[in-house]
Structure 1
Amino acid sequence: MLPSIEHRLANELGARPAQVAAAIALLDEGATVPFISRYRKEATGGLDDIQLRLLDDRLSYLRELEARRAAIIESVTTQNKMTPQLLDAIMHAADKTHLEDLYLPYKLKRRTRAQIALEAGLGALADALLRNPALHPEQEAAGYLKAAFSTDQGDNPGVLDAKSALDGARQILMERFSEDAALLQALREYVLDHGVVEARVIEEKKEAAAKYSDYFDYSESIKTIPSHRTLAILRGRREGLLNVQLRLDTEADKPLMTAPYNPCEARIAARFGVAHKMRPADNWLADTVRYTWRVKIFLHLETELMSALRIKADTDAISVFALNLKALLLAAPAGPRTTMGLDPGVRTGVKVAVVDETGRVLDTCVIYPHQPRCDWEGSLHTLAKLAEKHRVSLIATGNGTASRETDKLALDLIRLRPELKLINAVVSEAGASVYSASEFASKELPDMDVSLRGAVSIARRLQDPLAELVKIDPKAIGVGQYQHDVSQSQLARSLNTVVEDCVNAVGVDVNTASAPLLARVSGLNNTVAQNIVAHRDSNGRFATRAQLLEVPRLGKKAFEQAAGFLRITGGSNPLDASTVHPESYPLVKRILNDIKLDLKGVIGNSALLSSLNPARYQDEKFGLPTITDILRELDKPGHDPRPEFTTATFREGIEKISDLQPDMILEGVVTNVAAFGAFVDIGVHQDGLVHISALANSFVKDPHTVVKAGQIVKVKVLEVDEKRKRIALTMRLADAAPKADAKPRETKRPPVHRGQEKSESVKMTTPNVMAAAFSKLKA
């Protein structure tokens, strides 16, 4: 019998069963992962949020597995077909696939041809020919003829002639062979090792399929095909442009029935003792083996393994999206400074919004510095007046259409009016239009034109990216890879987890936070978040965390989960502005009494705090992890884990793709990180690609280990394809751009399957050539 769920999870996590059991108990009680990882370290032995997320996911899977195991045992037992051997195998099945393999012969299914043949008494014929191939099939079959008859399951056509008898016997053996669990697992493993995913363009749709040209004649091992290529070819198949199939690497085309056994057919034959010894039934049995493989088992495995490949590709793509989203959410905030947001536009003008330190809108307008009005001077004058009037510190320019031209306007203002001490930054405006048209934006900015709401969002996301981006569906932020092709429910669940972790890692000011931000706090939901805002609007600022218990539907359990992540700055208790949980306030009081100081004399006193022995304050309730965390928090209360705010400087005069030249070194911002490299905004309205091989001087397995979304990087231009809007970049600044007349330099590479040489990972000259293959994948 398998170990308990706790022991299995402990092995997977590298933890003790007691740690896992404690975490499971807390999760079952309704505790959230952020709460457990921060405030229940004694119980879980310090399991971190990553381990707890994995535990939570795997716990669901293993519980489903155990429920399915129990249902299968009950079903087989009810059929009176359970044996000690079968029960032992079921109890030791470690995953759902193996469990379903074992259940296959007993699974209630529609009346099959094999079942109809068994009803007609052909089981004995099948057994006889398999047991004794010396029998003559046609002669033996003649003894099993039977007229049509009826059964409780329905009408049976009977056995009209010898051919019908042999066909029925074959169906019986095919079903028996294909439902052998041990054989199925062996064949599954072989196909995983030797299976090739093959894509071919549908000839009459070749022109429409131009964007899939890399996959017109493509094949790659199912073991090595990366997620982005899987999703690309599956999208092509879904659009009816590509034929995609799985085949064995030993078979380029479907072999004739008279061909020698392939390795899988040979395994089936060996399993059931089928051999060619020139006996009368050998050919009939050989054909039965081939039909079993081609009609039953391979089609089943192809469906299963291609589905598993899709799930893996989904998981990988979602992981990329989650990592990028986390980097954006935890990007450096500019902080509570009056900010002017510029939402660039050409014909419709540049929308302008000024917000104060808390994000409250102070002023809005529209200026027209670009075509067709070209009111550059008037626009500068308007911006200067707004900056003076509201004492603006920051200018946030969206990175959409006319971004560089508008950024130049902001730079001109800074040069012309240095006394204003303005700082300019280009901000990703991904999702700003989604926010502008959202129901929340309508409630938050009810009297404002939709076009101006985007400028407000751009300004606010410079002040605090996390607080603003939580108002937008994570899928609309645009940092994913094939996000529209993956499981939307799985994507939403993963991204919501990322948002929750980020919000709780930073903490939330309960007196200024929006309802969408509060809703992401551990233990809270949309209703309670809205109730907090309504209570704040009606009764004024919260002075203490304890006052949160006055909010409707915020009970003791929700308070326990949420209180440590909610901050009250300037309140009556300084601890309310820290990560110290209210349940630990008595401990802090005990420490203060022991050292005979008040809280003001302790907060920020690093020398004193480092001299204290945490073990001195241990008791049954508070252990070393909690006490150590409290002392660290008292040293730096409310510490923000996000980095310091910096801005990228785009090079003057480089505003469009035609301005780029090979070997230029530029500063840019990473906008997206994919499995094959990173996209970088260098200020020309078209992101360039730094291929994974050009991210560093050493081998890079995962681009996320080198760069993250929002990071400021220096890059060199390698190649520019203005017609196709493709820019190849490198972060290895010593790399030289290829000469225009240089012949392609092929890199050494391992042997590949037919068609793979057309994929982006193999035939290339320098990383810039890969950019051409990959830039389309960003779409």
Structure 2
Amino acid sequence: MIISTIARELGVPEAHVRATVALLDEGNTVPFIARYRKEATGGLDDTQLRQLEERLGYLRELEDRKATILAAIEEQGKLTDDLRALIAACESKARLEDLYLPFKKRRKTKADTAREAGLEPLVDTLTTEQDTDAEKAAAGYICEGFEDTKKVLDGARAILIDQFATDADLVGEVREEMYRRGRMSATVVEGREQEGAKFKDYFEFSEPFTRLPSHRILALLRGEKEGVLHLDLDAGDDEFYQGLIADRFDLDVTASTWLADAVRWGWRTKLYVSSGLDVRMRLKEHAEAGALDVFATNLRDVLLAAPAGQRATLGLDPGYRNGVKTAVVDPTGKVLATTIIHPHQPQNRWDSAVRELADLCATHGVELIAVGNGTASRETEKLSHQVADLLAKAGGRKPTTVVVSESGASVYSASSLAAAEFPDMDVSLRGAVSIARRLQDPLAELVKIDPKSIGVGQYQHDVNQTQLARTLDGVVEDAVNAVGVDLNTASAPLLTRVAGISSTLADNIVGWRDEHGRFPSRRTLKDVPRLGPKAFQQCAGFLRITGGEDPLDASAVHPEAYPVVRRIAKATGLGVADLIGNSRVLGSLNPADFTDDKFGLPTVTDIIAELDKPGRDPRPEFTTATFKEGVEKISDLTPGMILEGTVTNVAAFGAFVDVGVHQDGLVHVSAMSTKFVEDPHTVVRSGQVVKVKVMEVDVDRKRIGLSLRLDDEPGAPAPKPQRGSAGGGNRNSGNRGGRKGRGGGQGARGNAGGRPAPGGSLADALKKAGFGN
């Protein structure tokens, strides 16, 4: 059942799902399966495999829970064939728990006490003979604990309400209808208006559950958690739900005021409460899933950002009072020199700083200067340009200055990993080393930092931390293995992210390298302590050796497939080394001619493509943004300016862009294209260099509104995006997002994912979503 369910959900043949599950159960990693077992999986990529793996875990947990519940009900002697069939057919944990409700052990309730007193026959009478006089019927059931007819009828009502609350079909239907029909409403907690100003757009707010986007749900929940907002789950028309209850139990509430009262009480005291809790959980799960998707996409983009390459680099970690921390690294990332200069206030040793940096650059042949984008960044960038000009005038090499995100650099500096790597280096200087290295190779450096500290998340502290860690670890693993790792230069943290390599094995690889020198071939990995056949199978294809004994070791061809390459080389009459990169010969080959029982068409096709461009890097070419001269702080901005900047983060409602003023501007999703944009990630990605127009500037609140549509005019009504190809239509976007909520006006609130209402502020979308506050 699990196999068929996953196959149906993913839209792939059951045979491929079954084979993939078997591979996972054998201990194979997702990157290995995705790249080297395409015949078995039908070519599922790493994203699909992650989805399959997650769904497999859920469904297996569901099956385990079914077994537990079946055993518990059977122990009570209440398991029927029909109930067993219903439980077996469950595809969700919510439905399963609904079925288990009547049999679940619980504290003694009023209904249990009433049943023990023998009031159940009275309930049967009142629900089957509905024109019965309730008072007269109750008189015959007076007993200890139920000394008058009112108490008897209250007991009978408790029994009937308990029946409502434990009817699986009714509970499930009410829950679904509440989610489909209900709304989330928010009001400000009295007296918290000023403290909770960042949630101002939610002080009077209402929106249907089905239209609440991820970021808005998390903002509302955060506002509630901080004691600023009061949230109310409005289910809709009470009479509708009461009608569902009456219809389910075939009750004529017009024939009996007692039945009408019981149905009303059952809805308000039981089903509304339980359904409300379920809806909250469902909304939170939906919001967390959305936040995780945003975080994963942004993290993938940052990790796979273009590397500047192996060039000597000067890293500058800017600062005022404590100076600019400086580190020079060679093309391999080895630290050559460190120092601290004080060009800015209060010391103002500008000229000496220029001379010192110029001397460092000349001495070590620096080609790149990486400037962290924190405090004093623009001033330090100006300093680096003066250093470059001085070197050029002296006839030396003029280094290129690049502003680099320093998110997480301080976290790395204080980490045990940095302490082990630079035990004798001052903590403040380690950040400069990290900044320099992340320009050379972002992936190799950022794997040393907890992904949550890289600064590309959305409400990352509000989501399930276990799920967050699992998701981000998968992203890092997939990114590292997509690029590949140089076995002879990779650090232990980078090696740990390679498929099949644990932290212990990573340390052992580095230890072997320190003791024996370079790895001459991939097969030498087998000499590493505790690196057995399974680990070798998983990791070997992702580890590269340049200039080794076998030219194939520099490629992504797995050692198990080397015999295929030998056959291809023999058929062409060339040696393996002559075959590699020979596009003319490789382009003339028919992959089907080299398949066998072990290696099918997908694998052979991949092998030929890899031979054509061995070890190709999937990352884009290196480019940098050029910040406008004279624009160094937010007060330097004026509406209408066209600037170049770098996308630092992409959220569900837009993208944040660094234009060089220490405060990222927001390009709202509605200002990204003339077409309707459903997902901002279809237009921009983290790390991308873009041109933007400044639409509005609020210096006091540090808000910058930007547009990717360079023909937009500040202050003019924003053109309505047309439904079209840019990301597709979005039912949760556009003017629908700005529809008036209960008790609220039509301002910028509610427009995340759509076009701002007239007069609405693009920059206020940041506050509206509670993002970054």
TM-score, normalising length: structure 1: 0.94
State the SS of the aligned residue for 1:200: strand
Which of 223, 242, 258 aligns to 2:210? It is 223
CA contact (8 A) 2:202 2:768 kept: no
Structure 1 stretches lacking a partner, 5+ long = 148-157, 251-260
Report whether the alignment pairs 1:377 with 2:351. Answer: yes
Q: Which moved more, 1:160-169 or 1:532-541?
A: 160-169
Question: 1:13: how far off?
Answer: 1.3
1:90 to 64, 87, 91: 87
Equivalence for 1:255? none
1:745 is displaced (CA, Å) by 12
Do 2:653 and 2:765's aligned partners in 1 also have CA atoms closer than 8 Å?
Answer: no
Q: Structure 1 residues 180-189 or 554-563, which shifts more?
A: 180-189
Check conservation: 2:695, 2:707, Cα contact below 8 A: yes
Rounded to whole Å, the distance in 2 between the matches of 1:319 and 1:81 is 43
Distance (whole Å) between structure 2 residues aligned to residue 343 and residue 441 of structure 1: 16
1:94 Cα deviation after fit: 2.1
**C-alpha displacement at 1:84, in angstroms?**
2.9
Work out whether residues 760 and 773 of structure 1, in 8 Å CA contact, stay in contact via their aligned partners in 2. no
In structure 2, give the amino acid aligned to 1:625.
P
- Identify the residue that residue 582 of structure 1 maps to in structure 2: 559
Aligned CA RMSD, in angstroms, stands at 1.8
Q: Show the 5 A alignment for 1:257-336.
A: 262-277=239-254, 279=255, 282-336=256-310
Distance 1:748 1:125 in 2: 55
1:687 aligns with 2:684: no
**1:163 CA drift (Å):** 1.8
Q: What does residue 738 of structure 1 align with? A: 715
Matched, 1:244 2:238: no
- Report if the CA contact (8 A) 1:726-1:775 is conserved: no
Q: Give 1:306's aligned amino acid.
A: R
- 8 Å CA contact 1:716, 1:729 repeated in 2: yes
Q: Distance in 2 between matches of 1:276 and 1:43?
A: 60
The alpha-carbon distance between structure 1 residues 713 and 722, as it changes in their structure 2 partners (threshold 3 A), is same
Match of 2:772 in 1: 778
- Asked if the contact 1:726–1:771 (Cα under 8 Å) also holds between the matched residues in 2, the reply is no
What one-letter code is carried by the residue in structure 1 that aligns with 2:209?
Answer: I
Letter in 1 for 2:307: P
How far, CA to CA, are the matches of 1:456 and 1:84 in structure 2?
68
| Aligned mates of 1:526, 1:773 — CA distance in 2 | 41
Which of 190, 194, 200 pairs up with 1:213? 200
1:421-460 map, 5 Å: 421-460=398-437
* Mapped pair 1:565 → 2:542: yes
Structure 1 residues 755-778: Cα deviation after superposition (integer angstroms, max 9, x where no partner): 363514154436636446448512
| Aligned-partner residue type, residue 504 of structure 2 | T
Say which of 8, 11, 19 aligns to 1:11.
8
- 1:732-774 Cα deviation digits (max 9, x unpaired): 00001117xx999999667432136351415443663644644
Kindly provide the CA deviation profile for residues 705-751 of structure 1, in whole angstroms up to 9, marking residues without a partner as x. Answer: 00011000000001000011100000000001117xx9999996674
2:74 to 74, 77, 97: 77
| SS of equivalent to 2:210 | coil
2:366 aligned residue: 392
Supply the distance in 2 between the matched residues of 1:28 and 1:587 (Cα, whole angstroms).
27
Report the alpha carbon displacement of residue 353 of structure 1 after superposing the two structures with TM: 0.3
Which residue is 2:592 aligned to? 615
1:195 to 156, 161, 182: 182
Opposite residue 656 of structure 1, the aligned amino acid is: K
Distance 2:690 2:503 in 1: 38
Higher deviation after alignment, 89-98 or 728-737: 89-98
- Indicate the SS of the match to 2:270: helix
Q: How far apart are the structure 2 equivalents of 1:371 and 1:537?
A: 44
State whether residues 487 and 544 of structure 2, in contact with CA within 8 Å, keep that contact through their aligned partners in structure 1.
yes
1:700 to 1:574, Cα distance in 2 relative to 1, 3 A: same
Q: CA deviation at 1:144?
A: 1.4
The alignment of Structure 1 onto Structure 2 pairs a total of residues equal to: 751
Is the partner of 1:768 in helix, strand or coil? coil
Offset at residue 242 of structure 1 (A): 1.5
**Alignment-mate amino acid for residue 628 of structure 2:** R
Residues 252-279 of structure 1 deviation map (CA, whole Å, 9 limit, x = unaligned): xxxxxxxxx61001111122222244x5
Which deviates more from structure 2 when the two are superposed, residues 416-425 or residues 358-367?
416-425
Given residue 757 of structure 1, which amino acid in structure 2 is its aligned partner? Q
CA contact (8 A) 1:727 1:771 kept: no
User: 2:171 is matched with which residue: 160, 181, 184?
Assistant: 184
Matching residue of 2:697: 720
Structure 2 match to 1:653:
630
Kept after mapping to 1: 8 A contact 2:665/2:763: no
Report the TM-score when normalising by structure 2.
Answer: 0.95
Does residue 40 of structure 2 align to residue 43 of structure 1? yes
CA distance 1:713–1:442, shift in 2 (3 Å) = same
How far did residue 159 of structure 1 move? 2.4
The runs of 4+ residues in structure 1 deviating greater than 4 Å are 742-751, 769-772
Q: Please, which of 59, 64, 79 is the counterpart of residue 62 of structure 1? A: 59
- 1:765 maps to a residue whose letter is G
Instruction: Provide the C-alpha distance between the structure 2 equivalents of 1:117 and 1:766, rounded to a whole number of angstroms.
Output: 58
Q: What is the alpha-carbon distance in structure 2 between the residues aligned to residue 670 and residue 407 of structure 1?
A: 19
- For 2:140, which of 124, 139, 143 is the aligned residue? 143
Structure 1 counterpart of 2:343, one-letter code:
P
Q: Structure 1 CA distance, aligned partners of 2:429 and 2:225?
A: 39
CA shift in 2, pair 1:344/1:774, >3 Å: farther
Q: Secondary structure at the match of 2:667?
A: strand
The one of 318, 328, 335 equivalent to 1:344 is 318
Distance between the aligned counterparts of 2:253 and 2:575, measured in 1? 92
Aligned pair 1:362/2:325, yes or no?
no
Bigger mean CA deviation after superposition, 159-168 or 678-687? 159-168
Q: Does the CA-based 8 Å contact 2:216-2:769 persist in structure 1?
A: no
Deviations 1:237-264 (A, max 9, x none): 11222211201234xxxxxxxxxx6100
Deviation at 1:88, TM superposition (A): 2.5
Determine the C-alpha separation between the residues in 1 that align with 2:536 and 2:689: 39
Q: Is 2:155 the partner of 1:168? A: yes
Q: Distance in 1 between matches of 2:371 and 2:142?
A: 85
Tell me by how many angstroms 1:690 deviates: 0.3
Q: Secondary structure at the match of 2:460?
A: coil
Preserved contact between residue 545 and residue 563 of structure 1 (Cα < 8 Å) = yes
Is there any run of 5+ residues in structure 2 with no aligned partner, and where? 722-733
> Does the CA-based 8 Å contact 1:602-1:608 persist in structure 2?
yes
Query: For residues 257-310 of structure 1, what are the alpha-carbon distances to aligned partners after superposition, in whole Å with 9 as ceiling and x for unaligned?
Result: xxxx61001111122222244x5xx11111100111000001000011101101
Residue 389 of structure 2 contacts residue 398 of structure 2 at CA under 8 Å; is this kept in 1?
no
The residue type paired with residue 762 of structure 2 is: N
CA contact (8 A) 1:345 1:401 kept: yes
- In 2, are the aligned partners of 1:691 and 1:770 still within 8 Å (CA)? no
Report the residue type matching 1:205 in the other structure.
R
The SS at the match of 1:443 is: helix
Distance in 1 of aligned mates of 2:80 and 2:329:
74
Cα separation, 1, equivalents of 2:212 and 2:114: 42
Once the two structures are superposed, residues 302-355 of structure 1 have per-residue CA deviations (whole angstroms, 9 ceiling, x without a partner) of: 011101101111110111111111100000000111000000001111111000
Q: Distance in 1 between matches of 2:769 and 2:701?
A: 10
The alignment partner of 1:340 has SS state of strand
3-state DSSP class of the match of 1:498?
Answer: helix
Cα distance per residue 1:652-686 (max 9 Å; x no partner): 00001111111000000000100000000000011
User: Alignment identity in percent?
Assistant: 56
Change (3 A) 1:84 1:369: same
C-alpha distance in 2 between matches for 1:699 and 1:216: 29
Query: Aligned partners of 1:88, 1:352: CA distance in 2, in Å?
Result: 69
SS in 1 for 2:309: coil
Q: Is the CA contact 2:628–2:643 (under 8 Å) kept in the aligned structure 1?
A: yes
SS of the residue corresponding to residue 746 of structure 2 reads helix
* Contact in 1 for aligned 2:199/2:767 (Cα 8 Å): no
Partners of 1:770 and 1:214 lie apart in 2 by: 9
Report the CA distance between 1:229 and its aligned residue: 1.3
- C-alpha distance 190-76 of structure 1, shift in aligned 2 (>3 A): same
